[in-house]
Amino acid sequence: MTRSMPWRPSGSGRLANDQHPGAAPNLPTGQALWLTALSVLTPGVAHWRAGKRRTALVLATTSFVVWGAVALAIAAAGRTELVALAVQPAVLMIVLVGALLVAPAWMWLVVSSYRAVRPADPRSRSRLAQLGVLGLCAAVALPPAAIANLAYSQYDLVTSVFRDNSAAPAPSAAVPPADREQGQPLPGERRLNILLLGSDAGPGRTEARTDTMVLASIDQETGRTVLFGLPRNLEYAPMPSGPAQDAYPGGFSDLLNAVYREGAATHPEFGEGAADPGAELLKGTVSQILDLPVHNYAMVNMDGFHHMVDALGGLDLNVAARIPMGDTGGFFEPGEQQLDGAHALWYARSRTGGSDYDRMARQRCMIGALADQADPMTVLRHYDQVADVAKDNVSTDIPSGMLQDLTGLAEKINPHASVQFTPPLIQPGAPDYNLIRATAHDTIQQSEAEQEEESGQSGSGQSQESELRTC
C-alpha cells in the first residue's frame, strides 16, 4: 500500500530559511568571511545576504550619513583650517573620544556580520574561521586606535607646552575693535615679534645659557619675516626698566647669553613674576637692544635638538668644510651627509677651527635644515617621538588661544631678510646700540616697502626646499 506524502508547495528548497527568518544562510566558511570583510567597507552587505533587510538598511544608512558628513567636513575645510583644528584641545578631545567609540562599534559590525552569514553546519565553523574574525576585528580597531593615540599625543603636547587660553595677550588698546584684523595671532598689531632661543641646557649643565638668540619679526598680513640674530657675547646689554635697570644702570655686567640665567636663577624678581623669569628678563633686554616689542618667546635646549634629530630619522645636509669633531680626533668631511642626533649636536657645537660667529651661523643653518626636512608626512610617521621631545625640551609663553591663528600665519611665513649683529657690523665688546636699533628699524621699513615686489616673487623660493642646505 502506497503511503501518501504531505503536500509541499513549489520552491520548498528555501522553506527552511523562510520559516526561520533569524537563521543564517548555509554559506561556506570562505564566502561567509568574504562577506564579513566586505561589510567593513560597505556595512549591511552581509545582513542583506542573510535576509535581514531592515538591519542592512539601518547599517548602510548610518554608515553613509556618518562617513559622508566626515568627508564633507574635510572637503569643506582647507588645509589651514584642519591644522588650526588640530591645535584646539577641545577638538582633539572630541576626536579622541570619537575614535575610542568607533573602534568597538566597528568590531561589533564584524562580529554581527559574520554571525548573520556564518555557516549553518557547526563542523564548518573551524578555528580558522574564528581566527579570521578575530583578525578582522583587530584590523578594523587599528585605524581608530592610531587616531586616538595621535589625538592624545597632540592634546598632551598642546596642553603641556602652551599656556591656557586665559593668558592670551590683550589686543592693542590703540586700535578700535572694529578696525582689528580677524584671524591674526596678535590683533591690533602689524607685526608679531617672537624671540627664538636655543639654550645649552642638558646633562651635566646646571645653569642654562642662551647661546642662540634670534628675533623673528613677522608681518601678520603677508607673512614676510625679518630675522635679527644677536651674538651670545654681546656686552653691556641695556636692561628693561624696573629692578633690572636699577641694578645695572650702565648695562648688564656679563655677556648677553647670561641674561636668562640672571633672571632664572640669580634674580627671579627681575622677571616680574612670569612663569619663566629668565625668559621674561631676556625678552625685555632684547626689546631694549632692538627698540622693538618682544611679544613671545620659544626656547629649545640643545639636548632637545639632539633628540629631535633622532626622532625625525636624522639630519641630511651638505657639510661646507672639514670641521674637527671637538677634541675627539675625528672630522666632519665636506659633502652630503646624514647625521644622527649625537653627531648633529657635535657639528652644531664645534668651535674648533673656527670663530664663535661661524658656530652661530652653522647652528642657524642646521635649525633651518631640520625645519626643511620636518615635512608633514615625516613628522606624522614619527609623531609620538617628536611630541615627546617637544614636550620635554621646548618652552614658550605663546598662549594656546593664539595657536589657531598662528597656524594660519605659519602657512604664509616667508623669510625676507636676515641681519646678524656681528663684526664687522658691530663689535660685541663695544656695541653701538643706536646703530643696532637704527639697523633694525630700517630693515623692517625696507621689508614693508618692498611688499608688492616680494609678493610677486613668493613662489620662487619654494623650489629650493628639496635641496640640501649647505652648513
Element (H, E) at 109: helix 89-117
pLDDT band at residue 78 using 50, 70 and 90 as cut-offs: low
Please indicate, yes or no, if residue 369 is contained in any of the structural domains: no
289 and 437 fall within a common domain: yes
59 and 99 fall within a common domain: yes
Which one is predicted more confidently, 206 or 349? 349
101 and 207 fall within a common domain: no
Please indicate, yes or no, if residue 156 is contained in any of the structural domains: yes
What is the pLDDT averaged over residues 76-100? 82
pLDDT for residue 61: 92
What is the pLDDT averaged over residues 224-252? 93
What domain range is 413 assigned to?
188-312+374-454
249 and 397 fall within a common domain: yes
Give the total number of structural domains in the chain: 2
Q: What is the pLDDT of residues 48-64, one digit of tens each?
A: 988 899 999 999 998 88
pLDDT band at residue 443 using 50, 70 and 90 as cut-offs: very high
pLDDT for residue 321: 82
Q: Which three cell numbers stand for residue 234?
A: 654681546
155 and 194 fall within a common domain: no
Do 18 and 118 form a contact (C-beta atoms < 8 A)?
A: no
Please indicate, yes or no, if residue 15 is contained in any of the structural domains: no
Please indicate, yes or no, if residue 12 is contained in any of the structural domains: no
Q: Which three cell numbers stand for residue 332?
A: 666632519
Which has the minimum average pLDDT: 141-145, 269-273, 306-310, 465-469? 465-469
Please indicate, yes or no, if residue 63 is contained in any of the structural domains: yes
150 and 70 fall within a common domain: yes
* Mean pLDDT (the chain, rounded): 80
CATH code: domain of residue 300: 3.40.630.190
Q: Which three cell numbers stand for residue 373?
A: 626636512
What is the pLDDT averaged over residues 439-446? 94
79 and 203 fall within a common domain: no
Q: Name the percent of the chain in helix, strand, coil, to the closest 5.
A: 55, 15, 35
- Percentage of the chain beyond pLDDT 70 is 81
205 and 139 fall within a common domain: no
Do 240 and 252 form a contact (C-beta atoms < 8 A)?
A: no
Q: What is the pLDDT of residues 110-169, one digit of tens each?
A: 999 988 888 765 555 577 778 888 999 999 999 999 999 989 988 888 888 887 744 444
Q: Which three cell numbers stand for residue 215?
A: 628675533
What is the pLDDT averaged over residues 396-406? 85
Please indicate, yes or no, if residue 366 is contained in any of the structural domains: no
pLDDT for residue 457: 52
Q: Which residues contact 432 (CB under 8 A, 6 or more apart)?
A: 426
pLDDT for residue 322: 85
Q: What count of residues does the chain have?
A: 471
279 and 406 fall within a common domain: yes
Which one is predicted more confidently, 201 or 436? 436
With b for 16 or more beta-carbon neighbours within 10 A and e for fewer, the 453-463 pattern comes to ebeeeeeeeee
With b for 16 or more beta-carbon neighbours within 10 A and e for fewer, the 317-346 pattern comes to bebbeebbeeeeeeebeeeebebebebbbb
* Per-residue pLDDT at 24 exceeds 60: no
pLDDT for residue 17: 37
Please indicate, yes or no, if residue 360 is contained in any of the structural domains: no
Please indicate, yes or no, if residue 361 is contained in any of the structural domains: no
pLDDT for residue 375: 66
Q: What are phi and psi of 312, to 5 degrees?
A: -90, 5
207 and 98 fall within a common domain: no
256 and 200 fall within a common domain: yes
With b for 16 or more beta-carbon neighbours within 10 A and e for fewer, the 383-411 pattern comes to bebbbebbbebbbbbbbbbbbbbbbbbee
229 and 148 fall within a common domain: no
How many CB atoms are located within 10 Å of the residue 441 CB? 13
pLDDT band at residue 73 using 50, 70 and 90 as cut-offs: confident
What is the pLDDT averaged over residues 206-218? 84
Last residue of one domain, picked from the residues 111, 142, 161: 161
Q: Residue 171 carries which side chain, given as an amino acid letter?
A: P
Highest mean pLDDT among 35-44, 80-89, 237-246, 414-423: 237-246
Last residue of one domain, picked from the residues 126, 161, 196: 161
Q: Map grid coordinates 620659544 to a residue.
A: 298
Which of 30, 151, 23, 176 has its CA nearest to residue 94?
A: 151
- Strands 414-420, 224-230: parallel, antiparallel or unpaired by DSSP? parallel
pLDDT for residue 455: 56
pLDDT band at residue 82 using 50, 70 and 90 as cut-offs: confident
pLDDT band at residue 209 using 50, 70 and 90 as cut-offs: confident
Which has the minimum average pLDDT: 117-121, 242-246, 266-270, 439-443? 117-121
